[in-house]
Amino acid sequence: MDEIQRPLEAGEAGGDGPVVEVRDVHYSVHGRVIFKGLTLSAAKGKITAVMGPSGTGKTTLLRLMTAQIEADAGVINVFGRDVAQMGSQDVFAMRRRMGMLFQNSALLSDLDVFENVAFPLREHTDLTEPLIRNLVLSKLNAVGLRGAAELMPTELSGGMSRRVALARAVVMDPEVLIYDEPFVGLDPIALGMILRLIQQLNQALGITSIVVSHDVAELASIAHHSYLMADGRIVAAGTPAELARSDSPIVSQFMSGKPDGPVPFHYPAPDIVTQLLAGEGA
Amino acid sequence: MNGVLSFSLVAEALARLGRMTLFLLQLLVQCARALARPNLVVAQIYNAGGRSLVIIMLSGLFTGMVLALLGFNLLQRFGSQEALGFAAALALIKELGPVLTALLFAGRAGTALTSEIGLMNATDQLTAMKMMAVDPLRYVAAPRFLGGVIAMPLLTAIFDAVGLFGAHTIGVRMMGVDNGSFWSQMQASVGLNDVMEGVTKSLVFGFVCSLIAVYEGYHAEPTAEGVGLATTRTVVASSVLILLLDYMLIAAFL
């Protein structure tokens, strides 16, 4: 890893040290290696972007960070504690300090928008009904959907669902917000709104944000620190500007969106001429 | 080769039984907590029971009518057609009511439960709950399981009542069996033990059908095909187990 290709150190970029720290993590599924020595960290109060081509394990990384699955080797520290050493109660306590925005929003289909946002409050607090109402409406107002409080999830567009999910993710005032592909399938207006909301939540509330995505331009506009994942590890790290200046072939291919390069366009296959001729003889 | 295949099938069946037992233990722990939120359970009693009412009542009515027709034809040969009420009541309360209700429940409410939970899993709703530090076993699985267990005896009672109405309509109004004999023979011959046998069966079937439906939904592969397969497994496993347990319970009550 060269000078810009290093994980963030404690105190760097004005933060108070990493809230999430992944060290030398290895992970395989059914014999397929997903990570082989992955190392990265997310500084407190900053927006950290994790980028990479599709299928590199970005969502798997989030599942490891949130203790949904367990790494084969390596250490994942969240809020200073190793998630592998946590019991189920500790994991739930950790998750109460986190919020997560899912790629497909994951709104509860049998509850309306208001109840979806109120869900964590009803489950974890003894707040009175008027207080819950005020909190939910203020969060919905922040994402511009106060007027949609009575709609069911099936009545929402993709962008609206994402914003409701964001309101639900922040209703408990989490210390860390994790975004899984927040820009996928959004029109430019909805995308701009989500970008602005991520930035506002970070600036106004100081929420540590980890954004996993392959949308380079969008991430570059908001991230304080970026990682590029490929081949089961971090291949580049630094500020978006540093990554953009990198002359590494893989970084250059990803940042400029070239179809072929170190990350091949073709899935591994036999030579096409050989394969076609073999078909003719059959 | 066949021996290896048989061994692996038995091993897989045992492993599945073990997983289901562990799931049941976790579920029972969460049931105690779910009971503290009765509105969730009541909503699921409505989902599993209330929405099955029409199919249960229609099936009960036709079953009673068929029983009366066949019963009258058979009893008439021995000159004892007045015992029709007793025969229909015994058949409905002890056997047909619990078994047919359970089979219908597995086909309607069981599949609905499995596909609902399976789709919640496929759309990350269960993961979202876990990420909000809410155990989906408590919020999703336990209320649905309890709803099914409570709904089954109620549905069976309704099936029996409507079935008796059907038998009475055909036997008394169409076949001319004496109304007084129909009810008095039933009252004199059907005992509490018979009713308890029916209630026990419906409780056992409710427990088994709900457990299978919730388990299969919770462990369905999060794809369209996976949810479809899980739904099929729910119907097949429930139906076979209902008939197997029916035999065992009849033997136990004899």
Q: Suggest the residue from B131, B138, B140 to mutate for an interface test with chain A (most A CBs closer than 10 A).
A: B131
Task: Provide, as residue numbers in chain B, all residues whose Cβ is less than 8 Å from the Cβ of A168.
Answer: 132
Q: Which of residues 102-131 of A touch B (CB under 8 A)?
A: 102-104, 106-109, 119-120, 123-124
* Cα–Cα distance for residue pair A61/A232, rounded to 1 Å: 10
pLDDT score recorded for residue A12:
42
A95 touches chain B (CB under 8 A): yes
Task: Spell out the residues 6+ positions from residue B195 whose beta carbon is closer than 8 angstroms to its own.
Answer: B93
From the CA atom positions of chain A, what is the Rg in Å? 21
pLDDT score recorded for residue B63:
96
A98 touches chain B (CB under 8 A): yes
Q: B106-148, pLDDT tens digit by residue?
A: 999 999 999 999 999 999 999 999 999 999 999 999 999 999 9
Q: Is residue A106 part of a domain?
A: no
Which of B124, B131, B132 is nearest residue A123 as measured by Cβ atoms?
B132
| Ramachandran assignment for A179, one of left (phi > 0), alpha (psi -120 to 50 degrees), beta (any other) | beta
Contact B128 A104 (CB under 8 A): no
* Cα–Cα distance for residue pair A53/A214, rounded to 1 Å: 6
* Cα–Cα distance for residue pair B53/B62, rounded to 1 Å: 14
DSSP B191: -
Task: Provide, as residue numbers in chain B, all residues whose Cβ is less than 8 Å from the Cβ of A124.
Answer: 133
A263: phi then psi, degrees, rounded to nearest 5:
-90, 110
CA B130 to chain centre: 30
B132 touches chain A (CB under 8 A): yes
Confirm if B239 and B106 have CB atoms less than 8 A apart: yes
Place of tokens 């893989």: A250
A36 touches chain B (CB under 8 A): no
What average pLDDT does the structure give for chain B? 93
Contact A95 B123 (CB under 8 A): no
Confirm if A184 and A152 have CB atoms less than 8 A apart: no
pLDDT score recorded for residue A280:
67
Which of B125, B127, B134 is nearest residue A123 as measured by Cβ atoms?
B134
Residue closest to A178 by CA, chosen among A13, A3, A14, A22: A22
Nearest chain A alpha carbon to B133: A92
Size of interface A-B (CB pairs under 8 A): 49
Q: Closest approach of chain B CAs to the CA of A61, in angstroms?
A: 15
Q: B44-84, pLDDT tens digit by residue?
A: 999 999 999 999 999 999 999 999 999 999 999 988 888 99
B244 touches chain A (CB under 8 A): no
Coil, strand or helix at B133 = coil
Which of B125, B134, B135 is nearest residue A106 as measured by Cβ atoms?
B125
Q: Are strands A18-29 and A32-43 parallel, antiparallel or unpaired?
A: antiparallel
A89 touches chain B (CB under 8 A): no
3-state SS, chain A, equals CCCCCCCCCCCHHHCCCEEEEEEEEEEEECCEEEEEEEEEEEECCCEEEEECCCCCCHHHHHHHHCCCCCCCEEEEEECCEEHHHCCHHHHHHHHHCEEEECCCCCCCCCCCHHHHHHHHHHHHCCCCHHHHHHHHHHHHHHCCCHHHCCCCHHHCCHHHHHHHHHHHHHCCCCCEEEEECCCCCCCHHHHHHHHHHHHHHHHHHCCEEEEEECCHHHHHHHCCEEEEEECCEEEEEECHHHHHHCCCHHHHHHHHCCCCCCCCCCCCCCCHHHHHHHHHHC
* Cα–Cα distance for residue pair A164/A169, rounded to 1 Å: 9
Q: Is residue A114 part of a domain?
A: no
Q: Suggest the residue from B129, B132, B135 to mutate for an interface test with chain A (most A CBs closer than 10 A).
A: B132
Q: Closest approach of chain B CAs to the CA of A126, in angstroms?
A: 14
Q: Closest approach of chain A CAs to the CA of B129, in angstroms?
A: 9
pLDDT score recorded for residue A88:
87
pLDDT score recorded for residue B1:
60
B130 touches chain A (CB under 8 A): yes
Task: Provide, as residue numbers in chain B, all residues whose Cβ is less than 8 Å from the Cβ of A66.
Answer: 131
Structure tokens at B230: 């899980």
Q: B163-195, pLDDT tens digit by residue?
A: 999 999 999 999 999 999 999 989 998 999 999
Contact A106 B134 (CB under 8 A): no
For residue B50, give Cα distances in angstroms to B47, B108, B121, B147. 6, 11, 25, 11
Provide the number of structural domains found in chain A: 1
DSSP B74: H
B124 touches chain A (CB under 8 A): yes
Domain hosting B82: range is: 2-253
Q: Which of residues 49-68 of B touch A (CB under 8 A)?
A: none
* Cα–Cα distance for residue pair A213/B199, rounded to 1 Å: 56
Task: Spell out the residues 6+ positions from residue A53 whose beta carbon is closer than 8 angstroms to its own.
Answer: A214, A230, A254, A263
Confirm if A62 and A111 have CB atoms less than 8 A apart: no
* Cα–Cα distance for residue pair A143/A145, rounded to 1 Å: 6
* Cα–Cα distance for residue pair A25/A35, rounded to 1 Å: 7
B127 touches chain A (CB under 8 A): yes
Place of tokens 């970029």: A13
Q: How would you list the strands of the sheet with A208-213, edge to edge?
A: A98-101, A176-180, A208-213, A47-51, A225-230, A233-238
Residue closest to A24 by CA, chosen among A251, A263, A234: A234
Q: How many other C-beta atoms can be found within 10 angstroms of the C-beta atom of residue B57?
A: 18
> Would you give per-residue pLDDT tens digits along chain A (282 residues)?
443 444 444 434 444 668 899 999 999 988 888 999 999 999 999 999 998 887 888 889 999 999 999 999 999 999 989 999 998 889 999 999 999 999 889 999 999 999 999 999 999 999 999 999 999 999 999 888 999 999 999 999 888 999 999 999 999 999 999 999 888 878 888 888 888 888 888 888 888 999 998 887 788 888 999 998 888 888 888 887 888 777 777 777 777 777 767 777 777 788 888 888 887 655
Task: Provide, as residue numbers in chain A, all residues whose Cβ is less than 8 Å from the Cβ of B222.
Answer: none
Structure tokens at A41: 């960290």
Task: Provide, as residue numbers in chain B, all residues whose Cβ is less than 8 Å from the Cβ of A103.
Answer: 124
B36 touches chain A (CB under 8 A): no
* Cα–Cα distance for residue pair B144/B146, rounded to 1 Å: 5
Residue closest to A35 by CA, chosen among A259, A254, A255, A229: A229
B46 touches chain A (CB under 8 A): no
Residue closest to A111 by CA, chosen among B221, B146, B129, B133: B129
What mean pLDDT is predicted for residues B23-50? 92
Contact B127 A68 (CB under 8 A): yes
Structure tokens at A93: 């306590």
Which of A95, A103, A107 is nearest residue B131 as measured by Cβ atoms?
A95
Coil, strand or helix at B220 = coil
Counting beta carbons within 10 angstroms of the beta carbon of residue A70, is it exposed (0 to 12), middle (13 to 18) or buried (19 or more)?
exposed
Contact A98 B131 (CB under 8 A): yes
Contact B125 A95 (CB under 8 A): no
Task: Provide, as residue numbers in chain B, all residues whose Cβ is less than 8 Å from the Cβ of A95.
Answer: 130-133
Confirm if B117 and B141 have CB atoms less than 8 A apart: yes
A93 touches chain B (CB under 8 A): yes
Domain hosting A183: range is: 1-97+175-190+203-282
A152 touches chain B (CB under 8 A): no
Provide the number of structural domains found in chain B: 1
Write the CATH number for A253: 3.40.50.300
